[in-house]
Amino acid sequence: MSNNRDVKYNSDVYFFTYEKTQKVRDIEANPQVCLNFEGSKDLYISITGKANLIRSKTTFAQHWNESLSQWFKKGIDTPGMLLIHVKGGRINYWQREKQGEINLSGRKK
């Protein structure tokens, strides 16, 4: 999955995928998820939150990036495509000796 270069983080993360995948079945069974990212300079980020499956083409258009066409040939009209929305509840991060946590209320630990 890719976050589609939609990286301005406001506790929402979006990913396009196909309907008939194991990750979609897993979210339908339990929407609590954990996303892990690795950045430059030994930065690691873990986001825990709740996932929601979106099937609205209007919402697809709001998050579409033309580079996604290599996987979704018909753009937002690709059959079987959906959007996963993860609402973050807690962020943990590590970068070398530094680490921390940010919870939903924005307080840093």
Phi, psi of 11 (to 5 degrees): 85, 5
103 in any annotated domain: no
1 in any annotated domain: no
- Confidence band for 100, pLDDT divided at 50, 70 and 90: very high
| Residue span of the structural domain in which 32 resides | 12-98
In tens, the pLDDT along 74-86 reads 999 999 999 999 9
SS3 content of the chain, % helix, strand, coil (to 5): 20, 45, 35
Q: What percent of the chain has pLDDT over 90?
A: 72
109 in any annotated domain: no
Q: What percent of the chain has pLDDT over 70?
A: 85
- Number of domains forming the structure of the chain: 1
Nearest to 59 by CA among 18, 5, 2, 14: 14
Q: How far is CA 7 from CA 3, 11, 14, 29, 77, in A?
A: 7, 10, 9, 27, 24
The CATH number of residue 36's host domain is 2.30.110.10
- Helix ranges (H only) for 3-101 are 22-29, 57-63
Provide the pLDDT for residue 57: 96
